[in-house]
A and B are shown apart, each in its own frame.
Chain A
């Protein structure tokens, strides 16, 4: 069974059996939070930031910041703090990662956490590597090739191959934990393959995310603060072409009708201004996609008005009634939004579904949000974060506390 390998060796046609040889399978995992793991990730961070032209890839800049030593230390420390005195943590063993297609850098977060946990990793990346992923793989390969990182390089395999159940089956059979990014279908298809009896799956399946804005509080912001919020929202929505699980697709304005109308009008105008400043324009294929999607959407309901029709430097925004908006959960991405007006956070509870991941907000107090989350009681929503932080990866993701999931506890009394 042949695969294209990036780490530990670069080889367009590598035999998987050679990569997954006894030496690999029988290697001793590194201890959790070993210095070589953190140093490796820190070095990766520096390499990314040192890359000329990195400004073009804000998603990678964000990744590099996340991989900085100070951030990793704070993640590790807050995890360690929670450990009871009579428990120590050890790695699970071998982790099999199925990376998402095309969201170039997201898998790196879960890989980094697994690396920190001390696991050995086999990462299957997407076949259709984009510019960012190519760049990233080059950087990682360059690092892995350096002698000092040999302990990392010999315990990590990054490969790609076309859909092939035999390969997935083989890797699954030696895995202690599987980290599955992908559409529901992909996740299900891998889950059906046997892994080790005590192995566990961490699934990141299809997710949906949205934004809620407290209209009254929004209207009381200064012009500058409103502009700043649009800037933050731009990052949430336009990175990863609005196709990340946590990219907001609905924008809900909450409050009295009049206030919602004014907020909506100001909010979208400022987003449009932000798009103009950045000269963010659609390529013809994306423009076509958005136009078709608008027509599909407006054909499905009697009242779903295009608030802003797709066009150059413009977000596409459709206005739906709160009773109808859930019809429009499919998304074409690229800056396509549905907005609606709700009276209170209680209205929002009725819209929530199991698949909902991130609620980005403006204008709510932590207490209100806590009460709201308790009220929702697990029927959806795994994260509630301020606008601007939708894509900030945290070790608690999709309801998992990842470092917990990626390690084992040994009790010593």
Chain B
């Protein structure tokens, strides 16, 4: 199976309308069949839902989804253990179950290719000196990477002379940072980090130290969600303004992605909308009926991607909330669906007789 390759012949963000729809429906149908034949829990699900086992879906909307949380509660993969190249794990907090995503060589390669096609469309193909707002310890164990580690490894391919700006205690190595900036003062820089860490350990720390390096030549890419920053009342707008006002960073791109679909990321554009790449799509569903919501209405995000070949993660119902803004006509010029993410589905608090003491564990999660 490698028809996926054809997606990378198209220039990123150019596939549109019925052409994209047809290509995706065909590819995702094939993936549905493949995973049905190779993953028992997935097969049980489709069988019990009485999904048409011809798997000739004519529209992306017809592709069955599974909730992303299933990867936390059971082993779901479509390849024998012997073919697993590595496992990706979600960054679960204490006491929570962790998702385990099995990658084989094919999926892993497709992820790299996919990510490259997206990122290079933003920053060009030349590798840039790169500052990573994280600690090198995060990527030490390459055989079992956390979501954060996978993100770092993935993005680090687009840089060179990588500088990890934080030590193991998440403290900014300010002196070394200034040296690095000095060394590459003529060059465009790539900065990558998780949203919260960029703000907390980079932006705030530099402010504390009263350091205001001119990073006008840098492109900052960040991801990881806004929950922690919302607690500090920092919006996307405030985030961007802070980085511009203090360090003159003009190019700041957020992206939305998850460990269950690595490589298939949704990058923010200059108009501040998130974009589906050529090989992915999103659908918004109503939690009352789980039916599809029309454009403009907010609901639960379903993400589809042609990348997952080793586990049935090609159509996932996330626990994030979002709204589709439009399709193929964003002011930034990119084709495809563009949307906004507005938060997460809260954790259910059903009452119960049991677990008298469980709540104290929950409290520690912070």
Determine whether B349 belongs to the interface, using a CB cutoff of 8 Å to chain A.
yes
A288-B300, A291-B317, A299-B42 in contact; A186/B355 too (CB < 8 A)? yes
Q: How far is the CB of A143 from chain B (nearest CB, A)?
A: 24
In angstroms, Cα B50 to Cα A211, docked, is 28
Which residues does chain A contribute within 8 Å of B352, judged by CB atoms? 100-103, 240-241, 243-244, 333
Q: Which of A321-339 contact B (CB under 8 A)?
A: 332-334
In angstroms, Cα B353 to Cα A5, docked, is 22
Determine whether A306 belongs to the interface, using a CB cutoff of 8 Å to chain B.
yes
- Verify B355–A292 contact, CB threshold 8 A: no
- Verify B73–A285 contact, CB threshold 8 A: no
Determine whether B56 belongs to the interface, using a CB cutoff of 8 Å to chain A.
no
In angstroms, Cα B358 to Cα A243, docked, is 15
Which residues does chain A contribute within 8 Å of B363, judged by CB atoms? 127, 162
A284-B346, A285-B347, A309-B290 in contact; A296/B360 too (CB < 8 A)? no
- Verify B70–A296 contact, CB threshold 8 A: yes
- Verify A292–B44 contact, CB threshold 8 A: no
Which residues does chain A contribute within 8 Å of B353, judged by CB atoms? 100, 103, 106, 181-182, 204, 206-207, 243-245
Q: Which of A178-193 contact B (CB under 8 A)?
A: 181-186, 189
Q: How far is the CB of A62 from chain B (nearest CB, A)?
A: 15
Closest to B364 in A: A162
Band of interface residues on B: 35 or more
- Verify B288–A292 contact, CB threshold 8 A: no
In angstroms, Cα B316 to Cα A377, docked, is 47
Which residues does chain B contribute within 8 Å of A284, judged by CB atoms? 287, 300, 345-346
In angstroms, Cα B287 to Cα A309, docked, is 12
A241-B350, A284-B345, A288-B345 in contact; A295/B358 too (CB < 8 A)? no
In angstroms, Cα B342 to Cα A284, docked, is 14
In angstroms, Cα B76 to Cα A170, docked, is 47
Which residues does chain A contribute within 8 Å of B48, judged by CB atoms? 298, 301-306
Determine whether A128 belongs to the interface, using a CB cutoff of 8 Å to chain B.
yes
Q: List 14 A-B contacts (CB under 8 A).
A: A102-B352, A130-B351, A182-B354, A183-B356, A241-B351, A241-B352, A243-B352, A284-B300, A285-B348, A288-B319, A291-B317, A299-B42, A299-B44, A302-B48
Given pairs A103-B353, A182-B354, 8 additional interface contacts (CB within 8 A): A100-B353, A100-B356, A185-B357, A186-B356, A243-B354, A288-B67, A292-B67, A299-B74
Residues of A within 8 A of B (CB): 98-104, 106, 126-128, 130, 162-163, 181-186, 189, 204, 206-207, 240-245, 281-289, 291-292, 295-296, 298-306, 309-312, 332-334
